[in-house]
Every structure is written in C-alpha cells, then in structure tokens.
Amino acid sequence: MKTYREVLHMHLPARRGLQNITRQVQRAVEASGVKEGLVLVNPMHITASVFINDDESGLHHDFEMWLEKLAPEKPYSQYRHNGFEDNADAHLKRTVMGREVVEAITWGKLDFGTWEQIFYFEFDGKRDKRVLIKIIGE
C-alpha cells in the first residue's frame, strides 16, 4: 500500500470565504501515484471546514447567509468564548459544515458524483492556515 501526504497553504484575505480546492486535491492524487484508494482532506484548523458540494455561486451565497443566521458573528458579547477571542461564531459554523471529507480514488481520479467538488470554507481568516491531503491506496 502507498501513502502520500501534502499540505495546502491557505491565506484568505477576508474573515470568511470559500475556495474550490478540487484541482489541488486531484493534483495531489496524481503526484501520489495511487490508482485505487482514498483521499482525506482536512483543514487542520478549528475555524475552517472542508466539504463537498456543487460549485454554484448562488449556493455559496446561501451557505453564507444560512450560517450567519445560525451563528451570527456579532454582537461578540453573545458568546462566552469571545472573552478570549472574537471567533466563537467561526467555531460553530465549522461544526455545522463539518471537519473533513474522504473521497474515493478510482483509476487515479477523484470518483465524484456529477456536480461534486471539494471546498475549503474559512470562517476566521486573514491569517495563514493549512489543509492536509492524505492519500492511501495502491
């Protein structure tokens, strides 16, 4: 069995933002030489999420609006955690959107459904963060 590890370095200029990372993950799969296996993609930070969905700007806007209703950023005083930092909402948004994805690799390609893509969703940006890509297989 082969294993491969790669880290993407992220730095979004805004507090929140969404970035399609499908191409970077596919390039890592190709670099790994794995033809049949699994890839795990994990943001390695507790205020960011990786998830799979459609690459459609209206849907991305809807995610942002829905999450802001569930866990509004302000007022900061509504969260006990914000006595330490002002990012309690980011922790909650990450919990809702999930931590990581695992995707099948078949014939050396990500084995997606028709519209599926991999996204990095930042909830507390303006600083350096990392995304782990871990691949196992043959």
Domain assignment of residue 85, given as a range: 2-137
The DSSP secondary structure of 17-83, one letter per residue, reads EEEE-HHHHHHHHHHHT-SEEEEEEE--STTEEEEEEE--HHHHHHHHHHHHHHS-S--GGG-SGGG
pTM as predicted: 0.95
Range with lowest mean pLDDT among 5-19, 29-43, 71-85: 71-85
pLDDT in tens, 87-96: 999 999 999 9
**CATH assignment of the domain containing 73:** 2.60.120.460
Tell me how many domains the chain contains: 1
pLDDT in tens, 63-88: 999 999 999 999 999 999 998 889 99
